Structure 1
Amino acid sequence: MNENILGIIAGTLTSIAMLPQLIKVLKEKNVDDISWIILLVLISGLSLWIYYGILKDELPIILSNAFAVLMNISLLVCYIIYRK
């Protein structure tokens, strides 16, 4: 298997992992079970992966992690809006 295809598949799977959580939060407007600390750690780590991808000029790493950062920032914004 071409390593770029492998990277794209892996990146896609890990990037969409938080999508069901985001959908659930948007539907229920409930963030009681979400840790803002974990979101900050994930956003930080994913941002470093983007930087790494830029340094290595690896578009699959950059794009998949950028999408994941957007997912987690969206969850963090929901946390700020919907927290009790």
Structure 2
Amino acid sequence: MLDTDTIGYLAATFTTTAFIPQAWLTWKTRRAEGVSLMMYSIFVVGIALWLLYGLLSHAWPVVVANVITLMLASFILLMKIVYK
């Protein structure tokens, strides 16, 4: 049986790696027309809040996932702003 942290780390792995193709495509093509500036702005704030929640509650799978996701989503958001 999987313990709670293992399930959390598995969920974190899947949800975090989902951003890698978008980040790679944006970097590779230097284009971000299909990326919503409003959606990513709201999303980055939400991820930052989840990270804070994870830190305050010592939920390490949440912290690890959101540190990585925050970096990837912030990168995509930055590329959207730069390539506008």
- TM-score past 0.5 threshold: yes
Query: Residue 56 of structure 2 aligns with which residue?
Result: 55
When normalised by structure 2's length, the TM-score is: 0.92
Unaligned runs of 5+ in 2: none
Matched residues in 2 for 1:31 and 1:55: separation? 34
Q: Which amino acid aligns with 1:18?
A: F
Amino acid at match of 1:38: M
| CA deviations over 1:2-30 (Å, ceiling 9, x no partner) | 11010001011111111101111111111
Q: Which residue in 2 is equivalent to 1:44? A: 45
Q: Please list every run of at least 4 consecutive aligned residues from structure 1 whose deviation after the TM superposition is greater than 4 angstroms.
A: none
SS at match of 2:19: helix
**RMSD value over aligned CA atoms?**
0.9
Deviation at 1:46, TM superposition (A): 0.8
Q: Which runs of 5+ in 1 are unaligned?
A: none
Aligned length: 83
TM-score using structure 1 length = 0.92
Q: Give the Å deviation of 1:63.
A: 0.9
Residue deviations 1:25-62, cap 9 Å, x none?
Answer: 11111111111111111111111111111121111101
Following TM superposition, by how much is the alpha carbon of 1:65 offset from its aligned partner in structure 2, in angstroms? 0.6
Distance in 1 (alpha carbons) for counterparts of 2:83 and 2:41? 17
Q: Does residue 66 of structure 2 align to residue 65 of structure 1? A: yes
